[in-house]
Amino acid sequence: MIPIVAFATWRECLRSRSFLGLLALFIVFMALSRLIGWISATDGDIVTTDVVFSLQSIIGVLVAVATGTALMHVEIQQCTLYTVLSRPVARWHFVVGKFLGLALALLCGQLTMLVLSLLYLALTGATVSWPLVLAGLLTAQEIIIMAAISLTWTTLSTPLLAAALSLATYALGHAVHELPSFLTYVRASWGQEMIAWAASLVPNLGRFAYRNQAVYGQELAIGDALQTVIYGLLWIALLVTITVAVFRRRQL
């Protein structure tokens, strides 16, 4: 039943207005990014590349949050959830299927944005390199983690509050990456340990922001890339497990 739920969710996400609208918005801003490169005081190609890959992350996060927080709510509101669960479908099958379908749709969107970005950069004369491809793929994994975060918050709160909490988690996840430099200002060792423990409760999304280095052609070691991918997969597994545990006990 998981593949059936996943396929239905994937198809539903690809047809949603928020998904298609934000993808169209990405294309518009990507086309305008060259203007920013022309008027900048630095290398126009680098500025254009930076803007394009930043757009991939920002638009991807908005799509993940908007789509992820609405999934469960729409199912309950339209009473389709009760129809599905009335069949021999366990709740964890439903949650895992929903996540896989959402993740696949987001992956399709991210790969589309990555291909469009590379084609646009090539047409405008900017440098296209392997580090940019790797940066785009790591951004895609970051977006899938955000989808898992959105689903988790949705099972714990209302869609609007879940969206706000998801965006707050995104901001905290990038702030955690700068934590080591911040800890140097904390003198007490117990304070450093407490802050580090609290930070471990939030995924370090800054690890996936390799695009900042890729723009300047800095290569990422294969070992570091694999560690980042495994780190992301572990967080996805943990978040989906939490979502399943909460959804099992939720009164529908």
Dmax (CA) for the chain in angstroms is 62
Question: SS3 of 169, please?
Answer: helix
Total domains present in the chain: 1
Share of the chain above pLDDT 90, in %: 28
More confident residue, 5 or 63: 63
Amino acid at 145: I
User: Which structure tokens are listed for 85?
Assistant: 């669960």
The pLDDT of residue 29 is 85
Question: SS3 of 250, please?
Answer: coil
Q: Are 69 and 154 in contact (CB under 8 A)?
A: yes
User: pTM of the entire structure?
Assistant: 0.87
End-to-end Cα spacing for the chain: 20
Q: Mean of the per-residue pLDDT values for the chain?
A: 82
Please give the full DSSP string across 152-173, using - where no structure is assigned.
HHHHHS-HHHHHHHHHHHHHHH
Best CA proximity match to 65, nearest among 168, 156, 172, 150: 150
Q: What is the residue range of 225's domain? A: 2-249
The pLDDT of residue 158 is 83
Tokens 């949050």 -> residue = 65
pLDDT at 193 over 80: no
Question: SS3 of 41, please?
Answer: coil
pLDDT at 23 over 80: yes
For 58-107, what is each residue's pLDDT tens digit? 999 999 998 888 877 766 665 555 565 556 667 778 888 889 999 999 99
The length of the chain in residues reads 252
- What does the alpha-carbon distance between residue 14 and residue 20 come to, in Å, rounded to a whole number? 7
- What does the alpha-carbon distance between residue 166 and residue 64 come to, in Å, rounded to a whole number? 9
Max avg pLDDT among 45-59, 190-204, 220-234: 220-234
Chain centre distance of CA 75: 22
For 208-236, what is each residue's pLDDT tens digit? 988 878 888 788 888 888 999 999 999 99
Max avg pLDDT among 26-40, 145-159, 203-217: 145-159
Phi, psi of 139 (to 5 degrees): -65, -40
For 163-184, what is each residue's pLDDT tens digit? 999 999 999 888 876 665 555 5
Q: Are 48 and 37 in contact (CB under 8 A)?
A: yes
Sign of CA dihedral 98, 102, 103, 108: positive
The pLDDT of residue 80 is 58
